[in-house]
Chains A and B, each alone.
Chain A
Amino acid sequence: MDIFVQQLVNSLSVASVTILIGIGITLIFGLAGIVNFAHGEFLMVGGMATWFMVGAGMNFFVALVLAGLLVGALGFAAERCLFRFTLNRPMNGFIMSIGLSVILQHAVIRVFNEFQKSITDPVGLVWTIGGVDIIAMRAIVVAITAIIVAITYFGISRSRYGMALRASVADRDTAELMGIPVRRYVTGVFIYGSLLAGIGGALMISLFPITPFTGSVIIIRGFAVSLIGGLGNVGGAVVGGLVLGLVDGLSAGYGYPEWTDAYSLVVMILILVLRPQGLLGGTLGPKAS
């Protein structure tokens, strides 16, 4: 039982990072209509920036905020300089994002190197609750993710900005006629998603080491999470992240370990074929395809 609870906290903390990147993708893909393959690299850049700042003697939590802002700025630049021009040709945007991911990956290798980087546990505490040892940092990662999910969820579903955003997705022309600056909202969503990727990267490096190639591994999980839950659906991304975490956890424990990666892929393909709109329903992706 103790081991089970410990495993649960560990899986939850890993799932948290997946959920953060999943939310970023679900917003950018589902609401802004941009297929950004470089999103994983955004996360990696966030992690690397955190590693650099912590290495320079900065407090981890300050570095986390700065990494989020940095990657948010990166997202702003990418949207203004690149994706803005391909909004009516999503396929070109997709190809450009692959180019961007190649550039970011190798720029990081050029600036640092290709070896894996890690930081020491920034909190360094172990809580013992009812005989269960819980690494404090992992619990903090889960808590930060929960707060971000809550803010995003209420922002999208309750605030007037969220409502305007959803209106722009439902009917772009009408939304523009009602005075909603749709283009600005697209930029805003892109920045917000990138910011989450930066924070996700910072949290990720606090859990395990990352390399410049981490982004390309995690991006497919991010797409999986957002598609399983339903594009543009924040709650769906959380469910998707938990489903994927559960599948991974169970398969690692009970199945053949060498097939671990295959299970989540099969689950994803099945869900895409059987329920293309995702488990909780979403926007079915950008309309201009």
Chain B
Amino acid sequence: MPVTDNSAGKTGAAPEGARARDRLALLTADNAAVPLPAGVQAITAILLAVLLIALPWLGLGYRFLSIAITTLYTAIGLYGLGLQFGQAGIMSVGHAALMGVGAYASAILSVQLGLGLWASLPFAMALSAIVGGVIGLPTLRVGGQHYIIITFCFCALFVIVLTNGGTFTGSATGLDVGSVTPLPGINFDKLSNNYYLVLAALFLAVVATYLIGNSRYGRTLRAIRENEQLARSVGINVDLHKLGVLMVSGLFAGLAGVLQLYYLRHISPTLFGAFPSLYLALMVMLGGARYLYGPLIGAVVVNFLPEVLNLDPVDSRIAYGVCLLLVILLLPGGVGAGIKNIYCAITGGFETQKQRGSNGRA
């Protein structure tokens, strides 16, 4: 439900203001459920893919590419969070810890058994998925708000466990790993190759999100999000689906964590604590969890904003907070919603938009 519906209903008195308000309502509405034409979707995907593939060739420098890699592996984790929040409606503020489970699993396998990225990746992803499911067990008993607090507690606990884990987890200093095992002809020590590795993983995440969103499974999840009682009463196994989506989300987080580990080559507990987790939640809300490119947009905005604004750290945090408030107030569906609505407002040929418009005027 768009929050602007109320104001659109009370516009009888002032027709001039009413039209402006209708237009504003169109821009701020949440049209996630309405698909764009297939051609537009395809063109967007191709343009985005070309841009991302061409990025290392544009000569933007080492620092830019480093931030781009950070953005991309964060976005992979965000796609997991976007799936569980956007589709199934379960928000978590412990997602960085889930990424940490994958990263630490991979690092410990590397330190103890000498396994590289490729060998440890399946184990790390599986472990993240299992942990995601186990933390998810309480969601079956408690409501969404309580689950947020539980995930936050898990995050804090995870950091304490890592810090007290002795040499096994490297305590507060953390663990180091070697470089990515080279594939034939590809050496991942080169930054642009590392970028393509992360980009390939992101591509998989986006495709998986698209397929899930358009499948029967995705529709089932949305049914649970919209009305859990109703979903239960038509025979959907709500508990199983909730745990399932949390485990899928854990898979994404594990993948992101391993990529983060092998990009940074060194991890420590603070990377996976409460604040990184909160930032993940912010990014996914900022971008728009229900939109295919929402998580990516959120990651890009949050990671590149300090660079673009070029302020000192304190001012950039303040500016960042203000931007966040503005986005949430003006675009409750996230930046993704805003872009889609602007596109629709420009082209105008959009079924729901017309319908909403006529409702407002009636």
Point out the residue from A35, A96, A109, A284 that lies within 8 Å of B328, measured CB to CB: A96
A198 at the interface (CB under 8 A from B): no
Give B130-161 interface residues, CB cut-off 8 Å to A. 137-138, 141-146, 148-150, 152-154, 156-157, 160-161
CA distance A48 to B320 in the complex (A): 23
Q: Is the CB of A99 within 8 A of B282?
A: yes
Min CB–CB distance B311 → chain A (angstroms)? 11
Closest approach, in angstroms, between the C-beta of B290 and any C-beta of chain A?
12
Instruction: Give per-residue flags for B295-306: 1 if the beta carbon is below 8 A from chain A beta carbons, else 0.
Output: 000000000000
Smallest CB separation, A30 vs chain B (Å): 10
For residues 310 through 351 of chain B, which have their beta carbon under 8 Å from a beta carbon of chain A? Answer: 314-315, 317-318, 320-322, 324-325, 328-329, 332
Are B146 and A285 touching (Cβ within 8 A)?
yes
What are the residues of chain B within 8 A of A259 when measuring CB–CB? 160, 164
Restricting to A48-106, which residues have a CB under 8 Å from any CB of B? 82, 85-86, 88-92, 94-96, 98-100, 102-103, 105-106
Taking CB atoms and an 8 Å cut-off, the chain A residues in 225-258 that contact chain B are 227, 258
Check B362 for interface membership: any CB of A closer than 8 A.
no
Docked complex Cα distance between A276 and B324 (Å): 31
Which residues from B are CB-within-8-Å of A265?
A: 153, 156-157, 160
Residue of B145, B150, B154, B163 touching A35 (CB-CB under 8 A): B145
| Chain A residues whose C-beta falls within 8 Å of the C-beta of B191 in the assembled complex | none
Report B-chain residues with C-beta under 8 Å of the C-beta of A88: 1, 3
**Known: A110-B314, A284-B143, A289-B144. Contact between A262 and B3, CB under 8 A?**
no
- B327 CB, nearest partner CB in chain A, Å: 9
* Chain A interface mostly: helix
Which of the residues B150, B164, B314, B324 comes within 8 Å of A269, measured between beta carbons? Answer: B150
Q: Does A162 contact B (CB under 8 A)?
A: no
Cβ–Cβ < 8 Å partners of B278 in chain A? 98
- Given known pairs A88-B3, A96-B324, A286-B145, the reply for A103 and B332 (CB within 8 Å) is no
Query: Are B156 and A100 neighbours in the complex by a CB distance under 8 Å?
Result: no
Is A272 in the interface zone, CB < 8 Å from B?
yes
- Bound together, the chains give a CA A54 to CA B137 distance in angstroms of 49
Q: Check: B259 CB closer than 8 A to any chain A CB.
A: no
- In this complex, what residue of B is CB-closest to A284? B143
Task: Return the chain B residue nearest A82 by Cβ.
Answer: B325
Instruction: Tell whether A186 is near chain B: CB-to-CB under 8 Å.
Output: no
Asked if B117 is at the interface (CB within 8 A of a chain A CB), the reply is no
Are B285 and A102 closer than 8 Å at their CB atoms? no
A102 to B316, CA, bound (A): 10
Chain A 203-227 per-residue mask, 1 if CB under 8 angstroms from chain B, else 0: 0000000000000100010011001
Q: Does A173 contact B (CB under 8 A)?
A: no
Q: How far is the CB of B70 from chain A (nearest CB, A)?
A: 19
Q: Is the CB of B321 within 8 A of A95?
A: no
Contact A92 B285 (CB under 8 A): yes
B28-68, CB < 8 A from A: none
A289 in contact with B145 (CB, 8 Å): yes
A195–B164 alpha-carbon span in the complex (Å)? 38
Among A82, A90, A103, A110, which residue has its beta carbon within 8 angstroms of that of B329? A82
B281 at the interface (CB under 8 A from A): yes
List CB contacts (< 8 Å) of A87-134 with chain B.
Answer: 88-92, 94-96, 98-100, 102-103, 105-107, 109-110
B3 partner, pick from A85, A90, A261, beta carbons under 8 A: A85
The contact string, 1 if C-beta is below 8 Å from chain A, for chain B 158-193, is 001101100000000000000000000000000000
A89 adjacent to B3 (CB under 8 Å):
yes
Q: How far is the CB of B134 from chain A (nearest CB, A)?
A: 12
Contact status A106-B317, CB under 8 Å: yes
B267 contacts the other chain (CB 8 A):
no
Find the residue from B161, B318, B328 having the highest chain A CB count within 10 A. Answer: B328
A95–B146 contact, CB under 8 A? no
Instruction: Find chain B residues with CB under 8 A from A86 CB.
Output: 3, 328, 332
In the complex, chain A residues whose CB is within 8 Å of the CB of B322? 99, 103
Task: Check A106/B145 contact, CB under 8 A, given A85-B329, A99-B325.
Answer: no
A269 touches B318 (CB 8 A): no
Q: How far is the CA of A216 from the CA of B163 in the complex (A)?
A: 20
For A35, list chain B residues within 8 Å (CB). Answer: 145, 148
Check if B76 is an interface residue, CB within 8 A of chain A: no
Give the interface centre of A89, A103, A276 by most chain B CB atoms within 10 Å: A103
A106-B314, A106-B318 are known contacts. Are A96 and B329 too (CB-CB below 8 A)? yes
Residue B91, interface by CB 8 Å = yes
Q: How far is the CB of B301 from chain A (nearest CB, A)?
A: 13
Q: Specify which chain A residues have a CB less than 8 angstroms from the CB of B152 in the assembled complex.
A: 220, 223
| Contacts A110-B314, A265-B157; A95 near B281 (Cβ below 8 A) | yes
Interface presence of A273 (CB below 8 A): yes
- Interface residues of chain A, those whose CB is within 8 Å of chain B, are 29, 35, 82, 85-86, 88-92, 94-96, 98-100, 102-103, 105-107, 109-110, 216, 220, 223-224, 227, 258-259, 261-262, 265-266, 268-269, 272-273, 276, 284-286, 289
A35-B145, A261-B160, A262-B157 known, 18 other contacts, Cβ within 8 Å: A85-B3, A91-B144, A95-B282, A100-B321, A102-B318, A103-B317, A103-B322, A105-B317, A216-B274, A224-B153, A227-B146, A268-B153, A272-B142, A273-B141, A273-B142, A273-B150, A276-B141, A276-B142
- 9 example contacts (A-B, Cβ-Cβ < 8 A) are as follows A88-B3, A92-B285, A99-B282, A269-B150, A269-B154, A273-B142, A276-B142, A276-B143, A289-B145
Interface residues of B (CB under 8 A from A): 1, 3, 91, 137-138, 141-146, 148-150, 152-154, 156-157, 160-161, 163-164, 274-275, 278, 281-282, 285, 314-315, 317-318, 320-322, 324-325, 328-329, 332
